[in-house]
Amino acid sequence: MIHETKTQQAAVQRRLRSALAGVRGAIRLQAPLKEYTSFRIGGPADVVVEPADVDDVAHLIRQTVRHKLPLFVLGGTNLLVRDKGIRGVVVSLANLRAIKEEPGAVLYAEGGVGMPTLIGHAIRRSLAGLEWAAGIPGTVAGCVVMNAGTRLGEMKDSVKAIRMALPNGTVMDYPAESIEFGYRRASLPRGIVVGVWLQLKSGLRADIEKTVKDYLRYRRDTQPLSLPSAGCVFKNPQNDSAGRVVEAAGLKGVSVGDAVVSTKHANFIVNQGQATANDVLSLIRKVRTQVARKTGIKLELELKLVGQA
């Protein structure tokens, strides 16, 4: 069995090398994924690739499909990577950070643009429509994939069209009407979001800045932004708030290792330093069990779990 496992591992390494041939961007082997997640948690990836541009993304996805390797794209913040990491190829779109202005108050942003950067760009151009995303640290692509949102709005409210690199290596554009957006999800074709057109509207810069600053202040006052987290852990129950339910069950401040239910917002689990994914998952089980026992409510995860346990 050991010999077979080593043989299988060697075969995977050969396929990885073949898949990475011709990639022009940065390549990191056995990269610790805690360096790439807002939770600062996660085991190693076999390889993390930062493609040089959209064509490089298209080349990489075609190669991974050809060599039958799993592929995962970083970008969203609502993510917990398990302690043994992710097998196959992990993609960071960090080099895809161009922003272009188009007529009619439209911005085109490549997939790796951070939402804070995009909001800053919109403010400087007196373009309104992204204020709802103030304080969201994820990428444009990540926000599309998970239809990121706050109490002020969702990504779907702004998306005009998306550009995707498909498994066959082609790049295609899709209008927003062809995409089904739901609560924290978007039904997208298989592939990688490499760009997004956002339909904004002209406004007064002072008004846009005030809305953003007010919402950032609200987030700082109500959410534990000073510690690593992955945002809200649980979906809100119907006609209720997950944070209220967890707090009512007396679970604020409960911990497993360095994973702690925030004392500021009970639907956040924060990493106080050296929390592992197993710590977080154990804490989630504890919270769900006690909430169900005390209230009868079965909390559903909003947090996305990936990787090997």
Same domain, 11 and 81: yes
Whether residue 3 is predicted with pLDDT greater than 60 in this model: the reply is: no
Range of the structural domain that residue 145 is part of: 99-207
Greatest extent of the chain over all pairs of C-alpha atoms, in Å: 67
Mean pLDDT in residue range 286-293: 97
CATH number of the domain bearing residue 167: 3.30.465.10
Report, as an integer, the average pLDDT of 197-220.
96
176 inside domain: yes
What single-letter DSSP state applies at residue 234? B
Question: Of the ranges 2-6, 111-115, 130-134, 258-262, which one carries the lowest mean pLDDT score?
Answer: 2-6
Q: With respect to residue 242, please indicate whether it lies within any of the assigned structural domains.
A: yes
pLDDT beyond 50 at 191 = yes
Chain CA centroid to CA 103, Å = 29
Residues 104 and 196 in one domain: yes
Considering the domain architecture, whether residues 109 and 200 belong to the same structural domain is answered as yes
Q: Token pair 């444009």 is at which residue?
A: 140
Enter the tokens of residue 138. 């994820």
The structure tokens listed for 14 are: 């050969």
Q: Residue range 219-234: average pLDDT?
A: 94
Asked whether residue 199 is assigned to any structural domain, the reply reads: yes
3-state secondary structure 92-146: CCCCCCCEEEECCCEEEEECCCEHHHHHHHHHHCCEECCHHHCCCCCEHHHHHHC
- Residue 2: per-residue pLDDT: 43
Residue 251, pLDDT above cutoff 70: yes
Domain termination site, one of 153, 181, 207: 207
d(CA 245, CA 236): 9
Residue 245 located in a structural domain: yes
Give me the pLDDT at residue 1, please. Answer: 38
The answer to whether residues 120 and 58 belong to one domain is no
Number of domains in the chain: 3
